[in-house]
């Protein structure tokens, strides 16, 4: 697949050939959904914990004798039906939410989402992303410039306006990360860490041209 390449000023400077094995994979929504659910489950901390009757304090003796008082029989004030007693069927920290998905399935789903981004004109390839200082206004200006990089039939004003953007970097760039973190709906990520959940959470994907080779060496190796 061949896509247009732009510079930071929003000017078209050429084309980039995207590898078919990554950007021309047929969509399987069931697989993408399965991988997305597993990622969300693996992010759960599972720290919610309610004490059962064995963990609450008190209840070392029988509240009153079994018979002869006219009241219902009770064995402990730690019973769930007592105020201050244990919780019945409450959340427990022992529960494991982790879901395991084979690596090939995860990568296949990643390729499917990347292919969908490219097909739907939600992938923007730049020659490079570089700023002189870690200033938010510099990164904001780049985003403003990229609003002119329009596929056919798009309105200039509404292309990026109000939409979320994921910026994939070739390596850690402290200036770009610091300059982007205060801009709403924008996230930076290293291309080696691309995943289905982030790609689905953000509408547009911006990638420098150099990240294409890193994608191939990282995700096509032993695939």
For 152-214, the DSSP string reads TT--GGGSSTT--EEEEESS--HHHHHHHTTSTTEEEEEGGG--HHHHHH-SEEEEETTHHHH
Whether the per-residue pLDDT at 147 is higher than 70: the answer is yes
Say if CB 116 and CB 26 are below 8 A apart.
no
Give the pLDDT band of residue 10 (cuts 50, 70, 90): confident
Burial class (CB in 10 A: 0-12, 13-18, 19+), 53: middle
* Beta bridge partners of residue 208, listed in sequence order: 126
The per-residue pLDDT for 74 is: 94
Whether the per-residue pLDDT at 133 is higher than 80: the answer is yes
Give the tens place of pLDDT for each residue, 161-201.
668 999 999 999 999 999 999 999 999 999 999 999 999 99
Nearest Cα to Cα of residue 146 among 165, 131, 170, 132: 165
Whether the per-residue pLDDT at 140 is higher than 60: the answer is yes
Give the pLDDT band of residue 153 (cuts 50, 70, 90): very low
Q: Which helix (H) or strand (E) holds 144?
A: helix 136-146
Supply 161's token pair: 């306006």
Q: What is the mean pLDDT of residues 20-29?
A: 95
For 35-57, the DSSP string reads HHHHHHHHT---------TTTSS
Q: Give the phi and the psi of residue 155 in degrees, each rounded to 5.
A: -90, 130
Distance (Å, rounded) from C-alpha 47 to C-alpha 186?
29
The per-residue pLDDT for 146 is: 85
Nearest Cα to Cα of residue 160 among 124, 107, 112, 199: 124
Q: Kindly report the CATH number that applies to the domain delimited by 2-44+102-219.
A: 3.40.1370.10
Instruction: Count CA atoms within 13 Å of residue 69 on its CB side.
Output: 9
What mean pLDDT, rounded, does the chain reach?
90
Q: At how many degrees (to 10) do helices 103-119 and 211-219 cross? A: 150
Say if CB 128 and CB 209 are below 8 A apart.
yes
Q: What is the mean pLDDT of residues 24-34?
A: 96
Q: What is the mean pLDDT of residues 46-67?
A: 92
So where are the chain's domains? Answer: 2-44+102-219, 48-96
The per-residue pLDDT for 157 is: 44
The per-residue pLDDT for 55 is: 93
* Beta bridge partners of residue 168, listed in sequence order: 189
Whether the per-residue pLDDT at 154 is higher than 70: the answer is no
Contacts 24+ apart (CB under 8 A), 178-187: 178/134, 179/131, 179/133, 179/134, 179/135, 179/136, 179/138, 179/139, 180/136, 180/139, 182/136, 183/136, 183/139, 183/140, 183/143, 186/139, 186/143
Give the pLDDT band of residue 21 (cuts 50, 70, 90): very high
């Amino acid at each position: 697949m061949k896509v247009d390449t732009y510079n930071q000023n929003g000017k078209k400077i050429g084309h980039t050939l995207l590898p078919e094995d990554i950007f021309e994979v047929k969509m399987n929504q069931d697989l993408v959904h399965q991988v997305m659910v597993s990622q969300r489950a693996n992010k759960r901390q599972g720290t919610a914990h309610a004490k059962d009757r064995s963990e609450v304090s008190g209840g070392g003796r029988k509240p009153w004798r079994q018979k002869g008082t006219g009241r219902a029989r009770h064995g402990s004030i730690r019973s769930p039906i007592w105020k201050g007693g244990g919780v019945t069927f409450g959340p427990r920290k022992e529960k494991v939410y982790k879901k395991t998905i084979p690596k090939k399935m995860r990568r296949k789903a990643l390729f499917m989402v990347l292919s969908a981004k490219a097909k739907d004109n939600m992938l923007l390839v730049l020659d490079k992303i570089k700023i002189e200082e870690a200033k938010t206004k510099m990164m904001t200006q780049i985003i403003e410039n990229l609003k002119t990089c329009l596929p056919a039939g798009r309105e200039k004003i509404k292309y990026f306006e109000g939409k979320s953007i994921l910026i994939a970097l070739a390596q850690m760039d402290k200036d770009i990360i610091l300059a982007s973190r205060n801009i709403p709906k924008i996230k930076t990520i290293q291309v080696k860490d691309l995943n289905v959940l982030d790609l689905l959470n953000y509408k547009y994907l911006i990638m420098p041209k150099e990240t294409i080779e890193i994608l191939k060496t990282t995700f096509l190796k032993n695939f």
